[in-house]
Amino acid sequence: MTEAIEHLEQQVQLKPDSVELHQSVAVALALAGRNVEAIEQYQQVVRSQPNDAVTSAQKAIELANSAGLPQVVKEIEPRLQLYRNGQAYREAVDVTSPPKP
């Protein structure tokens, strides 16, 4: 399984915009018990495919629950509600501070 994950991760580096590859990596990572990394891949899918955001957020919540990560669940649940309402999640940006090097 490790070799398959490494191969998929290499493919993602070659095609970082491929939703299918990110989903494949997420599934492989989840099957390998690497839930935190799987959640990160699903979050990438959500960012690139807003129409799939509800499904991906639900999968991420399931993984976070099974991994015993309640804080991650708390972070994703409000986003899931936004997605269900057809709204996008946007992070607040502090425009008053200069960017860090």
Q: For a pLDDT cut of 90, what percent of the chain falls above it?
A: 30
Q: Kindly compute the dihedral angle of the four CA atoms of residues 19, 64, 55, 22, in this order, to the nearest 10 degrees.
A: 10
Q: Is residue 99's pLDDT more than 70?
A: no
Residue 97: predicted pLDDT: 57
- Alpha carbon distance, N-terminus to C-terminus of the chain: 38
Q: What average pLDDT is seen over the chain? A: 83
Mean pLDDT of 2-22: 89
Q: What is the pLDDT of residues 41-98, one digit of tens each?
A: 888 877 777 667 788 888 889 999 999 999 999 999 998 998 888 776 777 656 565 5
Domain annotation for the chain: domains and CATH numbers: 2-84 (1.25.40.10)
Q: What is the pLDDT of residues 22-45, one digit of tens each?
A: 889 988 998 898 988 888 888 887
